[in-house]
Each structure stands twice: as C-alpha cells, then as structure tokens.
Amino acid sequence: MAKQAIGILETRGLAGLVNGTDAMLKAANVTLAGPMRQIGSAMCNVVVEGDVAAVKAAIDAGASAAEQIGEVLSAHVIARPDASTADVLPKRAAKK
C-alpha cells in the first residue's frame, strides 16, 4: 500500500537538517523514506512518509527546529502522492 503522504524538508547546512529530522521523528508517527541527502552548495534534504496529519505535524515541527540552527529552504507536504512518485524518492539500502 502506498503511503498517504510524503514530506520534504530542505535546509542549507547539515546541522539544521539533523535537528529538524530529530524533531520530525519525535513529533509524529512518520518514517524516513531513506537517508538524508546532500544536494550541493550546502543544501541537503530528507523525506518522511506517513499519514497526512502526521506528516504535516512532522514537517511543521522539523522546519521550526531547523530554523533555530540554520536556514530552511523548503518544507512541503504532498498528500496522496501518485505511485510513480516513489521512483524519485531516496531508497533504503537492502538489509543483509
């Protein structure tokens, strides 16, 4: 079954992203879609998945926490994403 929502938090600087990710995972019942990713020019992002309300709460908490340390470039929630959206999301490494 596809996730009901995905949330993306993008910051300039890793410290803000780590702080935001910690806040997101503590604030709501969401899971990481994969590892945090470095984009370049000090930009990095993380994707979380869960139900719409949980993802919205997590993104709000994460963006607020990340702003305390660094610069938040984007915080966005996509409700009911198309199944093909999973093709562009980060993948977790296969467990051995």
* 37-96 pLDDT per residue, tens: 777 788 999 999 999 999 999 999 999 999 999 999 999 999 999 888 888 877 765 555
Q: What is the pLDDT of residue 34?
A: 78
Report the CATH number at residue 52: 3.30.70.1710
Could you tell me the maximum CA-CA distance found in the chain, to the nearest angstrom?
A: 38
In a domain, 93, yes or no: no
Q: What is the pLDDT of residue 36?
A: 76
User: Token pair for residue 10?
Assistant: 């993008």
**Cα–Cα dist 92/69, whole Å:** 27
Q: What is the pLDDT of residue 94?
A: 57
pLDDT in tens, 16-50: 999 999 999 999 999 998 777 777 788 999 999 99
In a domain, 36, yes or no: yes
Give the domain extent around 13. Answer: 5-82
In a domain, 33, yes or no: yes
DSSP 67-92: HHHSEEEEEEEEES--GGGGGGS--P
**Cα–Cα dist 91/54, whole Å:** 21
In the chain, the number of structural domains is 1
